Amino acid sequence: MRNKAIVPSNTSGGVPARHQAVIEAKDLRKTYGDVAAVDGISFSVPAGESFGLLGPNGAGKSTTMKMIGAVTQRTSGTLSIMGLDPDSHGPEVRAHLGVVPQQDNLDEELRVRDNLLVYGRYFGLPMSYLRPKADELLAFAQLTDKAKSKVDALSGGMKRRLTIARSLINEPRILLLDEPTTGLDPQARHILWDRLFRLKEQGVTLILTTHYMDEAEQLCDRLIVVDKGRIMAEGSPAQLIREHSTREVLELRFGSERNATIGAELQGIGERLEALPDRVLIYAHDGEAALEQVSSRGLRPLTSLVRRSSLEDVFLRLTGRSLVD
């Protein structure tokens, strides 16, 4: 493990001691025919850490999650979850996990509360434990008044929250979240982030994939940037930004005609320049100063914006592509 993360304090019993790796992947590979979805990635996640896989669609994030979730067998490499090999100990590994898949797979034939009860039964949990637990989780997901509703009557955000509540029914030690907020409106996303943050505070190990950099910045202690099945970089969000980008970014729009050709006239401003189809990015320590230099050259952009560097910029730098395309 290259970057030892700062693990949030964890005072609860029954959860592995901190710094002890709960997930250990070495040269993990998954090929479908000739296509390598995951092409030799290695990482290690200590208990209690919130670990992210950031990358565009098709980077191999979901496949990695499925291998960790013991539902897809790896092609080669080693993988250990709580000290167990998921390929040979599927049910036992999954007993420790809570999974929120990319697409909600709630049981549409059952009502909201029954979804939680039945799911708990799959884990072999007794009803005496499940009844109060289901009510507790409904409250956690702000769905108490929907307990008797049909699942298809719920909004997208409610379904997502129910899926997350369901994943907690067995008090998992590791929570796998595959694109937890994709397709949700901003308000629903913020509610979800708040719930996830609380779980993190309680010492649950979170593994999450996302292609939203703000999500990764908010939730992840440490992350790997994945592209085409390989790890491009690894570290905390702040560390990655520091290593792979400047402090600030100046975004300029000159109109789609000129964005591509203006590059030559902007030479020498900032540390690096990136011309995208819709805008030009100037990476600089001081964005305002860079903007003044642009004006002093007599260039008049249609719009200009100075902002802090984000993981999006890191990704752009590492892969030459944007995260959401």
Partner 1 sequence: MSILTRGHSATEEARNRTFGPLYSRNAKAVIERGLMAIRSTNWLVMLSGFFEPVLFLISMGVGLGAIVGTVQGPDGAEISYAAYIAPALLAVSAMNGAVYDSTWNVFFKMNFAKLYQGMLYTSLGPLDVAVGEIFLALLRGLLYATGFTAVMGVMGLITTPWAILMIPASVLIAFGFASLGMGITSFLKTFQQMDWINFIMLPMFLFSATFYPLSVYPQYVQWFIQAMPLWHGVELLRQISVGMFTPATAVHIGYYLVMTALGMLLTTVRLRKLFLK
Q: Which residues bind partner 1 (CB under 8 A)?
A: 11-15, 69, 71-73, 88-92, 94-97, 99, 101, 103, 105-111, 114, 118-119, 121-126, 128-129, 133, 136-137, 140, 168, 170-172, 198-199, 201-204
Closer of 63 and 309 to partner 1 (Cβ): 63
Whole-number Cα distances in Å, 178 to 133, 186, 257: 24, 18, 38
Residue (138 or 241) nearer to partner 1, CB = 138
C-beta separation of 307 from 287 below 8 A: yes
For the bound state, the minimum distance from the C-beta of residue 77 to partner 1, rounded and expressed in Å, comes to 18
Bridge partners of residue 233, in order along the sequence: 225
Closer CB to partner 1, 28 or 213, in the complex: 28
Question: Tokens 């792979």 map to which residue?
Answer: 244
The minimum distance between CB 231 and partner 1, in angstroms, equals 25
Q: At CB < 8 A and 24+ separation, what contacts does 179-184 make?
A: 179/62, 179/102, 179/209, 179/210, 179/211, 180/100, 180/208, 180/210, 180/215, 181/210, 181/212, 181/215, 182/102, 182/210, 182/211, 182/212, 183/156, 184/156, 184/157, 184/160
In Å, how far from its chain's centre is CA 216?
A: 5
Give least dist CB 67 to partner 1, A.
11
CB-based contact 318:232 (threshold 8 Å): yes
Parallel, antiparallel, or unpaired for β 50-54 and 222-227?
parallel
Specify the residue, 118 or 289, whose C-beta has the smaller distance to partner 1. 118
Sheet containing strand 76-81, strands side by side: 35-46, 21-32, 76-81
Could you tell me the smallest distance in angstroms from the CB atom of residue 191 to partner 1?
Answer: 16
**Tell me, what amino acid is at 22?**
V
Nearer of residues 109 and 292 to partner 1, judged by Cβ:
109
Nearer of residues 95 and 289 to partner 1, judged by Cβ: 95
Residue 14 beta carbon to partner 1: minimum distance, rounded to whole angstroms:
4
Q: Secondary structure of the chain: what % helix, strand, coil (to 5)?
A: 35, 25, 40
Reported residue count of the chain is 325
Distance of closest approach, residue 212 Cβ to partner 1, in angstroms: 23
Of 45 and 99, which CB lies nearer to partner 1 in the complex structure? 99
Nearer to partner 1, 169 or 284 (CB): 169
- Minimal distance in Å, beta carbon 95 to partner 1? 4
What one-character DSSP code corresponds to residue 84? B
**Nearest distance from C-beta of residue 157 to partner 1, angstroms:** 19
Indicate the DSSP class of residue 232: E
